[in-house]
């Protein structure tokens, strides 16, 4: 049932993109909802983030235009994220998020996940809400016609997490109900330059909920204003040993609940660089998902200080630093308020062609299945071009590669499309935008899950 207080709260919390809604007069308010209007959802509740939700709004008047407001909270005391979409009902008085175009609001056009990736932080806090809860409101003028609340979670089944002894910060995410006579395929998660357990937190529960043993392998943890997330790991991205990943494999191979013959690596950005490099060196890797990848090994770095230019590489193997391409073009990169780091990689290749040739990752040595995901507007580094180089190198060796390239997306193509794209706070330009990145994610995530299942669970290898 609608109330003056409820509608006022919705309007008060809306970000500036919803200024038109906030200006609505609230002097009159219906005290009852539209009798037949109701939301429904085909997905179970709790719903699994990244899977189709099948949300419909029925019982409207034919061709009636309503505004759907979505609210979501990600932590108990966090501000509510909000988005809106103005939609017109069909001749039967029905709206579906997957099939009805948004005419105005936070996004336009047809997009089943549009109300989720387009959310922005509001000034509204509601401590009564549960974490990961979503509330949808159908609003017409000053009336709330109907509402629906549901949970949207990274995992909608029980997940258990265990530390992996002997490997600092490493942990495994498993579905609580593992078949007694079955061994789970494994996906090892590698974070990017943010380091720590970022990839594990983000993808571990999602993959475990879909039947994988997801292993978070933190391999470096930088100094930050809050300290080091995983004490005991390297603080600088210098000569990270690929051997550590091989040692992790030896530990995993001793477990009786996973299948050590079905292991994939999945990483984004520097994590993708590590995944591809590792797959070219380690024979046990079955498949790889590389998001915003690199085709070469790059110069190492420290988060809290400048290093001598061109001296340190990112990775090592068997005690030896691996060849790397030095950075160049720092003046170009920092010429704008928000630095465009892609310049240091583009200029580095130009300035050091021979070192780039030596630093090329021998992706043709990896005979397994490979999925690449890249954005053509990536301003962190030129991942789309580097992905094309990887495809060409493997094609020359007679190897197939799956490439999902999104021309207008940026660096942040590694989500599931159901989280707002303001979550990643960075002082550097990422490229893309909420729409392009969000829509790329809604395509790439189900493709990633399907790829992992096929490459690890009995599909043709």
Mean pLDDT of the chain: 90
The answer on pLDDT for 156 being more than 90 is no
For the full predicted model, state whether its pTM sits above 0.85: yes
DSSP 413: -
Q: What was the pLDDT predicted at 288?
A: 98
Task: Identify the structural domains of the chain with CATH numbers, from first to last.
Answer: 4-153 (2.60.40.2240), 159-456 (3.40.50.1820)
| Token pair in block for residue 179 | 């078949």
| Token pair in block for residue 397 | 């060796």
Residues 6 or more apart from 69 whose CB is under 8 A from it? Answer: 10, 14, 21, 82, 83, 84, 136, 137, 139
Cis ω for the linkage preceding 80 (within 30 of 0): no
| Token pair in block for residue 188 | 């090892």
| Token pair in block for residue 366 | 């990896």
| Token pair in block for residue 166 | 């002997």
Helix (H, G, I), strand (E, B) or coil at 68: strand
- With tokens 């509608």, the residue in question is 7
User: Between 4 and 391, whose confidence is greater?
Assistant: 391
Could you tell me which residues are beta bridge partners of residue 299? 313
Q: Which range, 25-29, 153-157, 187-191, is most confident? A: 187-191
Phi then psi for residue 346, to 5 deg, are -65, -45
The answer on pLDDT for 18 being more than 90 is no
Chain centroid to Cα 79, Å, comes to 21
Average pLDDT over residues 420-436: 83
Q: What was the pLDDT predicted at 193?
A: 92
Q: What was the pLDDT predicted at 226?
A: 86
Strands (E), 183-286: 184-190, 213-216, 236-237, 240-241, 258-268
Average pLDDT over residues 188-193: 96
CA angle (413, 419, 424) in 5-degree steps:
65
What DSSP assignment string belongs to 163-196?
Answer: E-TTSTT-EEEEESS--TT--EEEEEEE--TT-T
CA atoms within 13 A on the CB side of 363: 34
What distance in Å separates the CA atoms of residue 410 and residue 402, rounded to the nearest whole number? 19
Where residue 60 falls among pLDDT bands split at 50, 70, 90? Answer: very high
* Percentages of the chain per state (helix, strand, coil), in multiples of 5: 25, 25, 50
């Amino acid at each position: 049932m609608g109330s003056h207080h409820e509608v006022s709260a919705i309007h008060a919390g809306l970000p500036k993109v919803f200024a038109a809604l906030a200006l609505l007069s609230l002097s009159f308010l219906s005290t009852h909802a539209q009798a037949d209007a109701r939301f429904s959802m085909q997905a179970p509740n709790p719903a699994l983030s990244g899977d189709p939700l099948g949300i419909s709004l029925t019982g409207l008047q034919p061709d009636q235009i309503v505004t759907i407001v979505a609210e979501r909270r990600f932590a108990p005391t966090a501000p509510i994220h909000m988005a809106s979409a103005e939609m017109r009902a069909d001749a039967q008085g029905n709206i579906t998020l997957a099939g009805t175009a948004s005419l105005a609001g936070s996004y336009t056009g047809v997009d089943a996940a549009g109300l989720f990736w387009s959310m922005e932080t509001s000034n509204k806090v509601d401590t009564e809400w549960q974490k990961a809860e979503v509330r949808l409101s159908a609003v017409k003028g000053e009336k709330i016609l109907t509402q629906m609340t549901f949970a949207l979670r990274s995992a909608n089944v029980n997940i258990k997490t265990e530390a992996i002894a002997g490997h600092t910060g490493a942990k495994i995410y498993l579905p609580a109900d593992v078949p007694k006579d079955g061994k789970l395929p494994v996906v090892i998660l590698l974070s990017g330059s943010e380091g720590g357990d970022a990839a594990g937190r983000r993808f571990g529960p999602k993959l475990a909920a879909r039947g994988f043993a997801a292993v978070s392998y933190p391999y470096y943890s930088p100094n930050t204003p809050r300290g080091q997330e995983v004490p005991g790991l390297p603080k600088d991205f210098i000569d990270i040993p690929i051997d550590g990943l091989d040692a992790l494999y030896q530990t995993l191979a001793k477990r009786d609940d996973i299948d050590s013959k079905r292991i994939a690596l999945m990483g984004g950005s520097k994590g993708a660089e590590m995944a591809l490099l590792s797959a070219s060196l380690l024979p046990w890797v079955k498949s790889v998902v590389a998001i915003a990848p690199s085709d070469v090994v790059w110069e190492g770095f420290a988060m809290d200080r400048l290093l001598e230019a061109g001296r340190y590489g990112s990775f090592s193997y068997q005690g030896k630093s691996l060849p790397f391409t030095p950075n160049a073009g720092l003046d170009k990169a920092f010429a704008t308020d928000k630095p465009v780091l892609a310049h240091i990689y583009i200029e580095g290749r130009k300035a050091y062609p021979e070192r780039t040739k030596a630093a090329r990752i021998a992706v043709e040595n990896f005979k397994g299945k490979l999925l690449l995901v890249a954005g053509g507007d990536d301003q962190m580094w030129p991942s789309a071009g580097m992905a094309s180089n990887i495809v060409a190198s493997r094609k020359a060796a007679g190897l197939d590669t799956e490439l999902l390239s999104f021309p207008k997306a940026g660096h942040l193509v590694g989500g599931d499309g159901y989280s707002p794209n303001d979550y990643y706070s960075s002082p550097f330009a990422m490229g893309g935008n909420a729409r392009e990145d969000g829509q790329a994610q809604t395509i790439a995530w189900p493709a990633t899950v399907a790829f992992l299942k096929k490459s690890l669970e009995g599909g043709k290898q």
